[in-house]
Amino acid sequence: EIVLTQSPATLSLSPGERATLSCRASQSVDRYLAWFQQKPGQAPRLLMYDISTRATGIPARFSGSGSGTDFTLTISSLEPEDFALYYCQQRTNWPRTSFGQGTKLEIK
């Protein structure tokens, strides 16, 4: 089983700042890495897939990068609605997929 480890667990920033969230895989996931956003009481929302492709309707301030085992989600300038939980997901052995434990992005 591929284990995804996200860091930091909590990230405290102010609106307008740049956010950098990390996801490390226990073995290579090739390009099959996605990011999700989840707000309290809501379902996860697909943000990014195949490392750097934004899902439909996702603003350009969200970007993804990385390769192999190390990946990053960057939010260039935080908007108030961006404060949420973020999960990475790998699908290398689809449909057996796994998620990271999440990073909470909170307002400083």
Q: Is the peptide bond before 95 cis (omega within 30 degrees of 0)?
A: yes
44 binds another protein (CB under 8 A): yes
CB 12, min distance to another protein, A: 19
Strand 103-107 to 10-13 pairing: parallel
- In 3D space, the residue among 99, 64, 61 whose CA is nearest the CA of residue 81 turns out to be 61
99 binds another protein (CB under 8 A): yes
Distance CA 33, CA 18 (A): 21
Count of residues binding another protein (CB under 8 A)? 23
Residue selected from 28, 76, 97, 106 as contacting another protein according to rule CB under 8 A: 97
Residue selected from 45, 54, 61, 104 as contacting another protein according to rule CB under 8 A: 45
Question: Which residue's CB is nearer to another protein, number 75 or number 90?
Answer: 90
Instruction: Report the chain's terminal Cα–Cα distance, integer Å.
Output: 35
Site of interaction with another protein (CB under 8 A): 32, 34, 36, 42-46, 49, 55-56, 87, 89, 91, 94-102
